[in-house]
Structure 1
């Protein structure tokens, strides 16, 4: 079951403290307080669009050409009105002492009217908003199959542990399931459930109900999406980790995009309520695995700009068309290329001995990590663990952490990051096959990871970065071109082979296991000399930069497009204030679908 969750208490960019950046994010508009102005009684007629769809960032007029009275009878006929509450209505209450049921209902109806006004279409029916305590939420869980056996769950967890170990984010003595639960646990403030057609707010037992209206707008957008597209359909759950993130880039991207349009109207055009200042603030990252966190944040960062590109080029009709055929890779979302399709990666299981795959997990035993997860893999080695410069060896670890923060695009409602880097921008596809060997006294795990790249040069750049990653973990040369990491959570033997635009990575407990897993592997302990190419200026191309690079990418239409989607000035119409890069910055991280990374097996 898909659930669109809202996480709070995520100190997402204490990261920035490590990076040594400064300046906090600004959020447009004024909030809360006792309203004194009178309520509006007009809204925009559904036949008169409130905004020009080709200029999505422009603030629309508060009245249409033919203003219509906002009454309960006009709910589905007038855009910007719900149950007699108009989008520009003001309230005489605040929520310093919490919201009463009637006040929450009025706030919900105004937020529905605002989603209609920005999205230029009416809700088809009401979206109930309910509350539950955190204890009730924990008891209810975050979805998934209730009839799953303990053996099935254990098999999935073991399989998924290898995926996150291959990404150098969760070590062999850690549980990926527990790490993922830690990101979500205790932080969910609410969710929209397509199965139940409702929003649930999670509140502490005995506490007053307080909510940021922008959060409500975000979740109500999911409600509208569900009414028009049915979010329970299989197309909104990707078959792989990369596809999941890509679908969320569209679904969550539209919700953030509308949330941004709401925020920019606050103050000058709309009265907006927000929760108390203490709500959602945290004291630090604590035990949260930042590698997992930054992976699941990617749809919320790149998604709104992806949706903006759709609106700019084809209006809201283009967004509706994309909902009928969502993107299948994070590469499409990162580079704002709706037509981009990953390549099929040919793989034949040649393992010998007692090594077997997990045919009932993933897609015939395989996972696809994708460009976003690969970027985080390299970046995370600078933030945590070895704290080594992997993406850009010419800089130090702190400088490599900053690469993730140097986005030319900004958001008003959350911190903007970049997941676009030359080391991973040439991604064309990958298949990661976890293996197991239970023949001996102890369980043994390994994996074969086949990656495809746009060009041999892209493959060489990825290979060089991967060797730097192994070096950061103390890898030493071993027989037949393998490398061995002797200590830590990622110890074992590694074999890396590049063949044209394809790089294969094999990991097993020992050197012999590498060749049992892939007998025909021809690894090299370090990238060959030709891996170190030069760019147009004669500089070392393997060092990496924070700049996006132009490259011809395979698309279904055969178009040659650029991964750099910003203007020369770095401006973007979704831009608000500068991204939040303070030493102790707390941001409201809207993260959906708890099952996104703890996905159950698919058969």
Structure 2
């Protein structure tokens, strides 16, 4: 059973799933059930299938074996690169056993739709609403091309924002189906406060119960709870803060369609803030300073956004004098991670520039980054320079509402690289190309609970 599912609040709302009455042999019954649920998915999502979506059944053992095999096939160089970049940023210990993490079972999926195979896979027997959710992913893919949308996201932040819209939209249709089947009602009579709170609680449980670093459950901890509230607000006007529909019923599902076309969300903060966010601030490090090109080679770049910034800082929650990391991350205004290689030594270094709401929030981030790396200043005359707990050099600097953190970069190069993170270092914006998928996209392809995404991670939340 998916750990996002089965919360008491939903038990109060919903009981057992109605099954389709069938006749004839078992195959006929199954085919009739799938056909009926595909039709119901069309009705609750208000889109029509352009072609049939095939359904197959696999066992949990097969899924686990596939995940372990895929992790075993990853090149050691790829895992080393992940550790040298995102591990060095602080998301997990650089010596973490990534192969075991990527190959381990999350038990977070009951089924999934693959935008590559264009079909649904069920892990054993699943309830009808699970299939409704996956059929909605099929509708999304046929109408909006989920693969192309995902390929167009350049950053981890944008990737998670898109997936939140994808999952939230499917969950909204799933809830509508359950409301109709079990309560003979529609979304205008839903207890929004109960449902939104329960789904958010399920996402928090994923973080609390995870035995791996929070980075590796970024998708299930974010996409379902925040995605559902975002889509609910988009369609009806309801939210956790104001759990009453404000749009007229029947609700206009073309508002949901727009999330996959002209109004696709771009940041996780946009999802969390229900579109009521500050304009994203540009930060430096969009490219390597020209004067450092002979010494450093750019390897990759990313934008972490509010949610991944929170997951980076989450281990510090409750630490003395640091405060609430969730509230601190909510002050995010923009960021840029740049990964570089020293041309002489081959060492990989990281640089993370970020902008925050105000000086106070930036000061909190500055203090948190020193604590995250276990860093201590090593030069009384240069408080920005320090040594991390693992022995690597760090440079952490704040100017008003902006912060930059460098790690494992040649000390002589640090001042110039840091300078590129502040307004004077911001160059005219240009289209940035990727050498590899963003972190979030890469994880989506390799984590057991998300391969073939958008993968079902909240199938039984409403049980």
Q: Is the 8 A contact 2:362 2:402 kept in 1?
A: no
State the match for 2:355 in structure 1: 452
Are residue 349 (structure 1) and residue 292 (structure 2) matched? no
- C-alpha distance 229-117 of structure 1, shift in aligned 2 (>3 A): same
Checking the alignment, whether the CA contact within 8 Å between 2:370 and 2:396 is kept in structure 1 is: no
Which residue in the other structure is 1:269 paired with?
184
After TM superposition, the structure 1 = structure 2 runs for residues 159-558 of structure 1, keeping only pairs within 5 Å, are 159-176=81-98, 178-182=100-104, 184=106, 188-202=109-123, 209-234=124-149, 237-269=152-184, 285=209, 287-294=211-218, 296-312=220-236, 315-325=252-262, 326-337=264-275, 342-347=280-285, 348-350=287-289, 351=292, 354-358=295-299, 365-382=300-317, 388=319, 392=323, 421=327, 423-437=328-342, 439-440=344-345, 444-453=347-356, 455=357, 457=358, 459-471=359-371, 474-479=374-379, 480-481=382-383, 482-487=385-390, 492-508=392-408, 513-519=410-416, 521=418
Q: Is 1:106 aligned with 2:40?
A: no
| Runs of 5+ consecutive residues of structure 2 not aligned to the other structure | 186-205, 238-246, 420-447, 456-463
Contact persistence 2:226–2:271 (CA under 8 A): yes
Deviations 1:233-259 (A, max 9, x none): 245652111111011011111011122
Partner SS for 1:173: coil
Deviation at 1:162, TM superposition (A): 4.1
Unaligned 5+ runs, structure 1:
1-7, 14-22, 36-88, 94-98, 203-208, 271-281, 359-364, 393-399, 404-418, 523-589, 598-603
Equivalent residues, number: 384
Q: CA deviation at 1:328?
A: 1.4
Q: Is the 8 A contact 1:390 1:465 kept in 2?
A: no
CA distance in 2, matches of 1:264, 1:109: 20
User: Could you give the per-residue CA deviations for residues 508-527 of structure 1, whole angstroms, max 9, x where no partner exists?
Assistant: 17xxx3442443648xxxxx
Q: For residue 174 of structure 1, give the secondary structure of its aligned residue in structure 2.
A: coil
TM-score by structure 2 length?
0.70
Tell me which residue corresponds to 1:42: none
CA offsets 1:442-462 (integer angstroms, 9 cap, x no match): x53320111133x4x1x5413
| Alpha-carbon shift at residue 192 of structure 1 (Å) | 0.8
**In structure 1, what is the Cα distance between the partners aligned to 2:259 and 2:68?**
27
Give the CA deviation at 1:595. 7.2
What is the CA-CA distance between 1:354 and the residue it aligns to?
4.4
Tell me how far 1:230 sits from its aligned partner: 2.1
Deviations 1:368-395 (A, max 9, x none): 111110112222333xxxx735762xxx
1:193 positional shift: 1.6
SS of residue paired to 2:339: strand
Higher helix share: 2
Q: Distance in 1 between matches of 2:296 and 2:37?
A: 55
Task: Decide whether aligned partners of structure 1 residues 155 and 243 sit closer, same or farther in structure 2, where only a CA change above 3 A counts.
Answer: farther
Alignment partners' CA distance in 1, 2:40 and 2:117: 23
Distance (Å, rounded) in 1 between the aligned partners of 2:151 and 2:372: 38
Matched residue SS, 1:504? strand
Return the alpha-carbon distance in structure 1 between the equivalents of residues 414 and 131 of structure 2.
50
2:396 & 2:5 partners in 1: Cα distance?
Answer: 33
Paired residue secondary structure (1:432):
strand
For 1:338 and 1:102, the matched residues in 2 are separated by 49
Structure 1-normalised TM-score? 0.55
Contact 1:229 1:323 in 2 (8 A): yes
Give 3-state SS (helix, strand or coil) of 1:366's partner.
strand
Instruction: Give distance in 2, aligned partners of 1:594 and 1:372.
Output: 22
Change (3 A) 1:9 1:318: closer
Q: Is the 8 A contact 2:303 2:336 kept in 1?
A: yes
1:472-523 C-alpha deviation (Å, 9 max, x unpaired): 6643222221232325xxx5332221223321111117xxx3442443648x
SS at match of 1:519: helix
Among 63, 70, 91, the alignment partner of 2:21 is 91
- Name the SS of the counterpart of 2:146 in structure 1: coil
> Is the radius of gyration larger for structure 1 or structure 2?
1
